[in-house]
Structure 1
Amino acid sequence: MEVKFIKTNPTQNMTILVESLHTREMYNRMASSMMAYDHVFAEQVGFIESSESATAWARLQMMAGEFCGNATMSLAAVMAWKKNLQPGNRLEVPLEVSGANELLLCEVTAQQTGYLCKLDMPLPLSIHKKTINCRDVHVPTTIIRYPGIVHAVVHVPNFDSYSREMAQIIVKSPELLQGEAASGVMLYRRQSNEIEPLVYIPDTDTMIWERGCGSGTASLGACVANEIQRDIHMEIKQPGGMIEVWAQYQEDQMTGLAIQGHVDISAVGTAFV
């Protein structure tokens, strides 16, 4: 089967966007094949569909129906590229995205190389602190739930083998994952404002240490804003680079959440699945 695709690089969270039309029943199998080292090779796969809303330019359906901030910014960058947006010019791209209940707006600015994308994120359904039992060690976490995805922020002194092993247990924990299409653990070093993101997709039993995580960055920003009960703007370092996050707080509740990152278009072609 021939599959038309675009490969993007949002903060090294390598993403495949499938342009050719296929049934959703095929998405998981196609994604698993294309993500493999001996194939196109990426950390995640999204599928470009026609939108139901007349306002949206397209719909992004992720491989397991989860929400993904980096893939959304990638699709917005692709739309800007197809419109031949020139360096210094800006474009607002409305999109339907799996895991989001409303249209999302992404502001894309063309640069000399690639695109700077600022995305309005869905607000969390809930933010709460929970201690998760991890091999008889009680680990304090902050759990941030969205439609279809859940993240746990875990403060660690270092990114070491013990912290990573702990994250791999927590990300599958029933105390965290309660029917969502995806879960994530954001190991967070407060002193360096740095995360190492781990993402798990139950449907494909896929666990990936991502180079960059947009929704995880948003979750960290939401966690910090919720703790201090005021607006925040943070630059979050991750293995693949920097992603910025903004959160707005008014009258004891979060009213806005946005992330910004850089997206390059790496390749366009045909894969065989």
Structure 2
Amino acid sequence: MELEFVKLSPLGNTTVFLRGEAAAEERSALLSEAMDYDHLAAEQAGFLVEPHTEEAILRVEMSGGEFCGNAMLSAAALMASEGAESPFFIECSGTAEPLRAEAHPLGDGRWLASAEMPQAHGMRRISLKGFSFRGAATCVSLPGIVHLVLEASKLFAEDYDALLARLMREAVADAYGIMPFERMGHNRFRIRPYVAVPSANSRVFERACGSGSLALALAEGREDGRITVEQPGGTLFVRRGERIFLEGEVLISCSGTVRLGDVGWWAAEGFVPEL
């Protein structure tokens, strides 16, 4: 089938949105296909669908049913580029309530976006006994995604997978994130996000992670104010007050149509090519 797509880049965390008629049970497979190298080569993907509430102008359904902070920023930039007057409300999978968002043009397809974040469902400390690095980590449960936040400057690839396995034993969620951080100064941090979405068979070192930045701010217990979170793709900001907002730059890079979910004629007719 042919579906409309828009590809965006919130700090390099390439995000694809699909639009079109597709049954809910087909969306996860279509999104996984859209993300692959042969199609749109993205770190994450979601469907844009009709909202469940009258207050919202749009709903984002992510591939694993999780909440995604960068998808919220991307949707805010897209809606503003299509003429929506800021501020407005957007729904996202993983959270029940519409969230306030806005975006303003920076030129050359770039937008400065801001989006309200959901409250944490819970936080608890877990021991890292048995790992090559010492200390404890904070398990932060957000709607649809759980992050493990720990202070660590250097981790090997196998450390990330070992921590992920530990987190998946500790919590059940649609998606999981490993968020090691370094302190770079007052209210300034650096992270290297690693995110897994089991239903999409996806494990990615993301260029930027919005919900991971939020989890860091919550784990650190920062009071009202703004923290800076450096990541491989750039810098995100978390602003705490009565509500929590994520802020960052989004590039709308391209749009068009993509063909997904088609079965080749040889498969449809039972033909097996000779090799």
- The TM-score range, normalised by the shorter chain, is 0.7 to 0.9
Go from structure 1 to structure 2 and tell me whether the alpha carbon gap of 1:266 and 1:125 turns closer, same or farther (over 3 Å shift): same
SS of residue matched to 1:208: strand
Separation in 1, partners of 2:158, 2:33:
26
Go from structure 1 to structure 2 and tell me whether the alpha carbon gap of 1:213 and 1:136 turns closer, same or farther (over 3 Å shift): closer
Matched, 1:102 2:97: yes
Match of 1:265 among 238, 241, 252: 252
Q: Say which one has the larger Rg.
A: 2
Separation in 1, partners of 2:150, 2:169:
12
SS of residue matched to 1:105: strand
- How far the C-alpha of 1:190 sits from its partner, in A, is 1.4
Separation in 2, partners of 1:105, 1:268:
25
Separation in 2, partners of 1:198, 1:223:
17
For 1:256, the aligned partner's letter is R
For 1:179-194, what aligned pairs fall within 5 Å after superposition? 179-191=172-184, 193-194=189-190
Matched, 1:154 2:150: yes
Q: Which runs of 4+ in 1 moved over 4 A?
A: 133-139, 174-177
For 2:32, the aligned partner's letter is S
- Show CA shifts across 1:113-170 (max 9, x none): 3111111100101122111455687651111101211101111123x42xx3212222
Structure 1: 5+ residue stretches without partners: 249-254
Go from structure 1 to structure 2 and tell me whether the alpha carbon gap of 1:137 and 1:240 turns closer, same or farther (over 3 Å shift): closer
Go from structure 1 to structure 2 and tell me whether the alpha carbon gap of 1:43 and 1:177 turns closer, same or farther (over 3 Å shift): farther
Separation in 2, partners of 1:135, 1:272:
45
Separation in 2, partners of 1:29, 1:245:
32
SS of residue matched to 1:173: helix
Matched, 1:172 2:159: no
8 Å CA contact 1:222–1:257 kept in 2: the answer is no
- How far the C-alpha of 1:21 sits from its partner, in A, is 2.4
Aligned length: 256
Give identity over the alignment, percent: 30
Match of 2:237 among 244, 265, 271: 244
RMSD after superposition: 1.9
SS of residue matched to 1:262: strand
Moved more, 91-100 or 42-51: 91-100
SS of residue matched to 1:80: helix
- How far the C-alpha of 1:179 sits from its partner, in A, is 2.3
Q: Give the match for residue 271 of structure 2.
A: none
8 Å CA contact 1:18–1:46 kept in 2: the answer is yes
Q: Give the match for residue 272 of structure 2.
A: none
For 1:97, the aligned partner's letter is C
Separation in 1, partners of 2:13, 2:66:
16
